[in-house]
Amino acid sequence: MKKTNFFLSLLALALVSSCRTSDELTTEPSKQEEVHNKIVNVTHHDGRPFSTGSGSGSAQSKFTAGPGGGVLMQGFYWDVPEGGNWWNTVKDKLTAWSTAGIGAVWLPPASKAQNGAYSMGYDPTDYYDFGDFNQNGSTETRFGSRAELEALITKAHAENMQVYADIVINHNSGGQSEANPFTGTNTWTNFSGVASGKFQRNYNDFYKNSYGNNDEGAFGGFPDLCHANPHVQDWLWGRDDSVAKYYKNVMKFDGWRFDYVKGFGPWVVNTWNSNVGGFSVGELWDSNVNTLEWWANNANSSVFDFAAYYKMDEAFDNGNLNALNDDMMWKRNPYKAVTFVANHDTDIIYNKMPAYAYILTHEGYPTIFYRDYEEWLNKERLNNLIWIHNNKATGTTSILYTDNDEYIARRNGYNGNPGLVVYINTSSNWQERWIETNWSSQQIKDFTGNSSWYPTTQGDKWVKIQCPPNSYSVWSLNL
């Protein structure tokens, strides 16, 4: 779901529409590692050293996955600057992102939408116009030209990064008026004139039509695409030049972020994935973990962990770290959970650094929001957490202690990697706790540099650790 800016053709004036509408896991470690590596689709860490003083990164320029897997960057925000330069802006940041340990970038909808050079892409008209046809008032999209998009993707791949396309297949906009026998009126459902000549649509490709009156959900008054129509299925994923196969085989996208999946059945994403492959994540805006798990299983896809998102808001903004004991998608199935602190639609968490410390030390596939990284938060501290995630955040998770303002959890390690202990403290005082680690009679340190302690664990693996006020510490073997 997203804000959507579009021109309402009937009235020929601008309209802006906004739609906002277990303490211990027992996941098999071998599967954990397998899925992490499958997500980022790159080889294991090749041994080139990172800085271990604070774990903040190295001079390497290409992303290589560490034992903990990869991190996703949302490479845009709502209303990025107009003028067709966004693809170049992102391309110029890829080397730095790769160096920091970011393994993939999610781009905004890349094809021409009704609002042309002003659209964020969520009102799609021509799925095959990436800024190379003069239609809807411009040749380039808001983000740039097709050549600039292709250069971005090529650069990302040179940095060993993947690129995920934002796919909007629930609704369309920008069609011409036509008589519609199913409504008895004229509807804006004639897409026979799209400049690419591909995926031409008419009233029978949208609800209501000969296939029924509606599907799971419509959005914003847009024509609601009918996935039950074989013509739509063929053009979305079936034929050799379908949208999915064109994006993957010609444009070289590596995966998909499916927009507003509440609007159609999970079988649509499942069928897309089985026909085309690639990483996928669905935007199912729902805090109910049962609903998220149901959708992910039936779609054969990852899903954004909105359950964790709202629990983090309760924990970090409302003084109740006990909320982190509650159920979340990453606890149900970490291989299908994409965790996040903010995105282009919603940004309700105020106390963000402990939230990033949480998602970058826990299971799931963590996402970093462009503006948090590039504009609003401390990039060095985020890079440190990315390094910790990629190199230390391995194995299953055990929650060791919670109260209103303290939270301690242990990653249990995997395949020789020692794992970690994360301590989050939202109180105004330093805190100390005795906790049970993975390690017997070994020296540990705080890889954030927030604590200067170098304690040695007892023979029974217990040790006292500390955390500064309104901050976090992350402990592991001093190696």
CATH, residue 405: 2.60.40.1180
CA of residue 321 relative to chain centroid, distance: 24
Which of 346, 362, 393 terminates a domain? The answer is 393
Pick from 304, 215, 290, 307: nearest CA to 259: 304
Asked whether 84 and 131 are in contact (CB, 8 A), the reply is yes
Give residue 285's region: left, alpha or beta (phi > 0; psi -120 to 50): beta
Rounded Cα–Cα distance for residues 312 and 351 (Å): 9
> Token pair for residue 476?
């592991």
Residues 326 and 450 in one domain: no
Residues 318 and 449 in one domain: no
CA distance readout (Å), 34 to 44, 157, 164, 333, 367: 11, 21, 20, 14, 19
Residues 332 and 401 in one domain: no
Rounded Cα–Cα distance for residues 1 and 449 (Å): 39
Residues 161 and 27 in one domain: yes
What is the structure's pLDDT at 26?
29
Angle at which helix 352-359 crosses helix 306-317, to 10 degrees, equals 140
Residues 331 and 442 in one domain: no
Residues 350 and 479 in one domain: no
Q: Which residue has the tokens 């560490």?
A: 66
Q: What SS3 class is residue 229?
A: coil
How many C-beta neighbours within 10 Å does residue 214 have? 11
Which of 340, 362, 393 terminates a domain? The answer is 393
Residues 201 and 275 in one domain: yes
Residues 189 and 254 in one domain: yes
Rounded Cα–Cα distance for residues 419 and 412 (Å): 5
Element (DSSP H or E) covering residue 435: strand 431-436
What is the structure's pLDDT at 65?
87
Residues 56 and 177 in one domain: yes
pTM for this prediction: 0.89
Rounded Cα–Cα distance for residues 313 and 308 (Å): 9
Residues 309 and 365 in one domain: yes
Rounded Cα–Cα distance for residues 388 and 475 (Å): 10
Asked whether 54 and 384 are in contact (CB, 8 A), the reply is yes
How many C-beta neighbours within 10 Å does residue 284 have? 23
pLDDT in single tens digits along all 479 residues of the chain: 444 333 333 333 333 333 333 333 323 333 333 333 333 332 222 222 233 334 443 445 788 888 998 999 999 999 999 999 999 999 999 999 999 999 999 999 999 999 999 999 999 999 999 999 999 999 999 999 999 999 999 999 999 999 999 999 999 999 999 999 999 999 999 999 999 999 999 999 999 999 999 999 999 999 999 999 999 999 999 999 999 999 999 999 999 999 999 999 999 999 999 999 999 999 999 999 999 999 999 999 999 999 999 999 999 999 999 999 999 999 999 999 999 999 999 999 999 999 999 999 999 999 999 999 999 999 999 999 999 999 999 999 999 999 999 999 999 999 999 999 999 999 999 999 999 999 999 999 999 999 999 999 999 999 999 999 999 999 999 98
Residues 130 and 265 in one domain: yes
CA distance readout (Å), 41 to 69, 71, 104, 417: 9, 12, 10, 20
**Non-local CB neighbours of 389 within 8 Å, separated by 6+ positions:** 68, 69, 71, 101, 360, 361, 366
Query: Which burial class, exposed, middle or buried, applies to 240 when counting CB atoms under 10 A from its CB (0-12, 13-18, 19+)?
Result: exposed
Which CATH number is 70's domain given? 3.20.20.80
Number of domains in the chain: 2
Please spell the DSSP secondary structure of 346-381, one letter per residue. ----S-HHHHHHHHTTSSSEEEEEHHIIIIIS-HHH
Which of 373, 393, 413 terminates a domain? The answer is 393
Q: Whole domain around residue 25: which residue ranges? A: 3-393
Residue 475 β-bridge partners: 421, 446
Residues 383 and 400 in one domain: no
